[in-house]
Amino acid sequence: MILRYIQKAYSYSVVFSHRIFLALTSLLVLCGCQQDYPLEVEYRLSFNGETVHCNSNLQIEGKTWQLSQFQFFVHNFYTQDKHGQWHPASISSGENQSNSVSLLGEVCGADNNWKAKLNTVIPENKIEGLKFTLGVPHQLNHLNPITQPFPLNQSDMFWTWQMGYKFARVELINESNEWIFHLGSTGCDSPSPVRAPEEACKNPNRSDIRISSFDSNKLIQISLDELLRGINLQIDNNCQSAPSELCDKLLGRMGINSKQTIFGVK
């Protein structure tokens, strides 16, 4: 009788071990079959449908304006498959981007970069949607920029340790004036400007941007005319993300506490 129980126990043990082995083998096979596909997401700054570069003349309220700088940080990319499921897409380390964040845009008189280079588990011709976060992630936002890899060491995209990075920097000039919009976190509490806050800022001012019907053969258009719509650039000419009528408009159009209106597929 005891021998029979021992034989049954051994038999169950063998079957159970075999099932575990098959399950682990299947899991390893699935993991091995998953492939990363390179994806370039290209952005384009436009004004009334025309591409904007540093030498573009923008006619606004009877004045001629030119771009001085338009740069922004992005991270936290996801791609959507045909079933509506979202999958994380990693940023490829390289020029103008680390594996955590990408800096896009243009500085007049310097290099420009309008492409985010990613790796995704979905082939680019099967991607149905794209989403990303505008800004620098909280865990990187208040670190010392001197010790950070490029692009987080670009000094003009940083305020202070207390405030962190400028998530977006938009500057225009004309013959007699300049227009400035710097987007970043506010309400950051620390003992001094050179001390990082221990807690998250009251107004993080990061926005999640979703692009429906994404097509890798098309550009993501950023509408500068929509950002500036209804704003008197000569008078309302400076926003540093602090609460104000001008900043409320600009932040809302960027997707902060509102639905963004400047990013789309073209």
Q: pLDDT tens track of the chain, all 266 residues?
A: 444 443 444 444 444 444 544 444 444 334 445 688 999 999 999 999 999 999 999 999 899 999 999 999 999 999 999 999 999 999 998 777 888 999 999 999 888 999 999 999 999 999 999 999 999 999 999 999 999 988 999 999 999 999 999 999 999 999 999 999 999 999 999 999 889 999 999 999 999 999 998 998 999 999 999 999 999 999 999 999 999 999 999 999 999 999 999 999 98
Preceding omega of 137 cis (within 30 degrees of 0): no
HEC sequence for the chain:
CHHHHHHHHHHHHHHHHHHHHHHHHHHHHHHHHCCCEEEEEEEEEEECCEECCCCCCEEECCEEEEEEEEEEEEEEEEEECCCCCEEEEEECCECCECCCCEEEEEECCCCEECEEEEEECCCHHHCCEEEEEECCCHHHHCCCHHHCCCCCCCHHHEEECCCEEEEEEEEEECCCCEEEEEEECECCCCCCCCCCCCCCCCECCCEEEEEECCCCCCCEEEEHHHHCCCCCCCCCCEECCCCCHHHHHHHHHCCCCCCCCCEEEC
Report yes or no: 178 and 68 within 8 Å, Cβ to Cβ: yes
pLDDT of residue 38: 95
Domain ranges of the chain: 1-34, 36-265
Between CA 132 and CA 54 the distance in angstroms is: 26
pLDDT of residue 13: 47
pLDDT of residue 97: 87
pLDDT of residue 19: 54
What does pTM read for this prediction?
Answer: 0.86
pLDDT of residue 96: 77
Radius of gyration of the chain (CA): 25
pLDDT of residue 34: 65
pLDDT of residue 65: 97
Q: Please give the C-alpha separations between residue 111 and each of 68, 120, 208, 224, 261, in angstroms, as whole numbers.
A: 13, 27, 27, 20, 27
Between CA 64 and CA 47 the distance in angstroms is: 13
